[in-house]
Amino acid sequence: MKVWVIAESKLMAQKASELRRVSLELVAKATAFGDTELVDVRGPERYVAAPAVDALAKKAEADKPDLVLVGSTPSGRDLAASLAARLGWAYAGDCVDVRPGEGSVEVARTMYAGKVRATMRLSLPAVVAVRPNAFPLPKTPPTDFQAQTVAAEMVPQKLQFVRFEPTKEAKAGVPLAEARVIVSGGRGLRGPENWKLVEELAAALGAALGASRAVTDAGWRPNEEQVGQTGKTVAPDLYIAVGISGAIQHLAGMTQSKTIVAINKDPDADIFKVADYGVVADAFAFVPALTAEVKKAKAAA
């Protein structure tokens, strides 16, 4: 089986060490399938679907890969679906597992907020978008590969933009979907003015910030920090939920975390059903004390 992995870099960089974690996960997984090639689209300063799909479709028609794997990121989902439609190939998105078969590929997807795991078999050739953190990354990530560069040509008449305005620049730090430690806050924090409790704990732990949908819908935090079915799916080594009740939509985005710590004053909160460690306490009293202890432990180390 000939497999392509579409590379996605953090800063449009060409070094393998600067690829997004999901691209390295897919390369590590795909090497067990057969002949694997990493394909990197270059040209536009920022991702634009039309030229990227044009370039990849032409190369796919020439090289004829059996399977194309793409990280299920915002850009990756757009690219994967568009490429499959252009080529007329089978497509599956937001998958959590991929297994090769004889002339086919078997994929698994979660449905109904993670309550059901569906298995589908796709005839080859196919394009599959895979969730970040679906596959474990080896302790020594694969580095002995060279990305094939595909030049994407920007043709102005093909673009349909009426107006383009840059969005607010994302803050520096580890992307939420790739973070190994995450501290998330929910409605139990009562208002954006109290978010400093979460920020201070996250800073002490070197963690990324997350939030529930109720928080982002209320405008307390940016949408890029939302964890859940309609936000980011994460699987860190440690996930700390502060003042989050545990709605099924939120649980669908974080239950793959290795260790879950829940802090909530309601002992019946649903978040405790999935937590490895539960703290029934007022976050306004407990979190500052926890932050102080973390700082003390790090200073003594």
Upper half-sphere CA count for residue 108 (Cβ side, 13 Å):
10
Contact yes or no for 129/72 (Cβ under 8 A): yes
179 vs 261: CA distance, rounded Å: 16
CA angle 273, 274, 275 (to 5 degrees): 100
Strand segments (E) across 29-125: 35-42, 67-71, 90-100, 104-111, 116-123
The more confident residue out of 225 and 301 is 225
Tell me the residue type at 253: G
Residue of 222, 223, 255 whose CA lies nearest to 241: 255
Q: What is the pLDDT of residue 138?
A: 76
Which tokens in the block code for residue 65?
């890969």
148 vs 4: CA distance, rounded Å: 10
Q: What is the pLDDT of residue 13?
A: 38
Going along the chain from its start, the domains and CATH numbers come out as 2-158 (3.40.50.620), 176-300 (3.40.50.1220)
The more confident residue out of 100 and 140 is 100
Q: Inform me whether the pLDDT recorded for 171 exceeds 70.
A: no
Q: Inform me whether the pLDDT recorded for 127 exceeds 90.
A: yes
220 vs 215: CA distance, rounded Å: 6
180 vs 208: CA distance, rounded Å: 8
Please state, for a pLDDT cut of 90, what percent of the chain lies above it.
57
Phi, psi values for residue 292, rounded to 5°: -65, -40
Q: Inform me whether the pLDDT recorded for 116 exceeds 50.
A: yes
pLDDT digits (tens, 9 = 90+) for 213-244: 999 999 999 999 999 988 888 989 999 999 99
The more confident residue out of 40 and 283 is 283
Sign of dihedral through CA atoms 8, 11, 16, 22? negative
Which tokens in the block code for residue 207?
């963690």
Sign of dihedral through CA atoms 265, 271, 274, 277? negative
Q: What is the pLDDT of residue 74?
A: 85
72 vs 128: CA distance, rounded Å: 9
Q: Inform me whether the pLDDT recorded for 170 exceeds 70.
A: no
The conformation of residue 223, written as its DSSP 8-state character, comes to G
Q: How far is CA 51 from the centre of its chain?
A: 24
pLDDT digits (tens, 9 = 90+) for 54-106: 999 999 999 999 999 999 988 899 999 999 999 999 999 989 999 988 889 99
260 vs 40: CA distance, rounded Å: 35
Residue of 257, 253, 250 whose CA lies nearest to 236: 257
Number of alpha helices (DSSP H) and beta strands (DSSP E) in the chain? 7, 13
Contact yes or no for 121/106 (Cβ under 8 A): yes
Q: Inform me whether the pLDDT recorded for 48 exceeds 70.
A: yes
Contact yes or no for 16/65 (Cβ under 8 A): no
Residue 285 φ/ψ region, left for φ over 0, alpha for ψ in the -120 to 50 degree band, beta for the rest = alpha
